[in-house]
Amino acid sequence: MTMMLEWPGRCSRCRKAIDDWADAGLHQKRWVHKACFTELWREARQRGVEPPVLRSPTERSGQLELPMLIFLLLFHFGLGMAVMGWIMLTQHGSETAAAALLVVGLIAPLVGVAGVALNVVSRRRVELIRQALELAGGWKPGR
C-alpha cells in the first residue's frame, strides 16, 4: 500500500525523487534510477547472482490489478453483509450477529471505496508517466 500512495516517485536505493521517468525503471516492485540499478546490478554480479532486468515504469500498472480486485470485493461483499445484518434485525434474528454484520457491512464498503479511489489515482499517475515517456521518445532499458 505504501507504493500506491508514494508520489512523487522515489528511488528505492538513493531515496531521491525521480524527476525524469526516462531515467528510471521498476526493479522488484520498486522505483529505481537507472544509475542506481547499475550499482545494484554490479553488486549482484560480484556476488555471483543474476539480478532481474530493469523494467519500464509503466509496468507498475500491472501491480495495481490485485489491490483493485480486493477493494472492489470489499465494497460489494460489505454491502451484502450490511443488507444481511439489516434483514436479520428486521426479521428478529440474533441481534448480536445482526449488529456485527451491520457494523462490518458499513465499514467494509467505506474501506473498499477509499482503496478504489487510491488505486484510480495511482493508475492515473502511471498514465501520466506513460505520457511523459512518450513525449521523451519512449523508455529504453539502458542509459
pLDDT in tens, 78-131: 999 999 999 998 998 788 999 999 999 999 999 999 999 999 998 998 888 888
- The total number of structural domains in the chain stands at 1
Is position 143 within any domain?
A: no
| 27-50: average pLDDT | 86
DSSP string, 100-136: HHHHHHHHHHHHHHHHHHHHHHHHHHHHHHHHHHHHT
In the numeric block, which cell numbers belong to residue 27? Answer: 526493479
Give percent above pLDDT 70 in the chain.
93
Phi/psi region, residue 3 (left: phi>0; alpha: psi -120 to 50; beta: rest), is: alpha
Q: Considering the domain boundaries, does residue 140 fall inside one?
A: no
- For residue 42, being part of any structural domain is answered with yes
Distance CA 85, CA 40 (A): 53
Answer yes or no: pTM beyond 0.75. Answer: no
Tell whether 35 is covered by a domain.
yes
Residue 105 resides in a domain? yes
Alpha-carbon distance 134 to 132, whole Å? 5
84: containing domain:
2-135
Instruction: Specify if 45 maps to a domain.
Output: yes
Percent with pLDDT over 90 in the chain: 34
Q: In sequence order, which residues have a C-beta less than 8 Å from that of residue 2 and are 6 or more positions away?
A: none
pLDDT band at 2 (very low <50, low <70, confident <90, very high): very low
Task: Quote the mean pLDDT of the chain.
Answer: 86
Q: Is the bond into 141 cis (omega within 30 degrees of 0)?
A: no
